[in-house]
Amino acid sequence: MTASTTEIPGYIAGTWTIDPVHSDVDFVVRHLGVSKVRGRFAQVEGEIVTGADLADSKVTATIKADSVDTKNPDRDAHVKGADFLDAEQFPALSFVSTGVRAEDGEYFIDGELTLHGVTKPVTLEAEVGGFADGLSEGAKVFGISATTEIKRTEFGVGANIPGAVVSDKVKIELNIEAVLQA
């Protein structure tokens, strides 16, 4: 193990499956420049590999575009439609890591986000929640939170919607719990 993995209490190298019941993929945009509107994606799946060396760790995740929920059915339909996600043509968002690193006690996951058919590099600022025993006999769980910001128009999302109506900047917040595979 490297110094970066030994600094994480209870660190376990292994392959973990994202638990969709205990994981959230949320986003925040500004509406009309004055208020924040939050939404979430209800369906996420993926895998996290924690390497013996932190740099060997990997993440893959897929999110169903039509699982968006903003607590308003009319807005949800609009976000799923051609003006924004176009979930019919682009049914999934995906993330594939290209590197995991620790710098000055902080953790970063570099990767490629594919949204609306466009792939761009992003960096997630991560916070390790920890490793613990699960509720089932012998089960182990791992928690991690991460954030990043993207510009929706760089992914072709809402290209015809002015930033004065919905901000171009989208904050993405992840709270993930994963279960160690047997």
Domain chopping of the chain, boundaries: 3-180
SS3 86: coil
Tokens of 113: 């986000």
pTM value is 0.93
Query: How large is the average pLDDT for residues 53-76?
Result: 96
Q: What local confidence, expressed as pLDDT, does residue 1 receive?
A: 46
Pairing mode, strands 169-180 and 106-115: unpaired
Indicate whether 57 pLDDT > 50.
Answer: yes
| 142 closest CA partner among 41, 25, 53, 59 | 59
Q: What local confidence, expressed as pLDDT, does residue 135 receive?
A: 86
Tokens of 34: 């004055």
Indicate whether 167 pLDDT > 70.
Answer: yes
| φ and ψ at residue 46, rounded to 5 degrees | 165, -170
High-pLDDT (> 90) share of the chain, %: 86
Write the CATH number of the domain with boundaries 3-180: 2.40.128.110
| φ and ψ at residue 53, rounded to 5 degrees | -105, 125
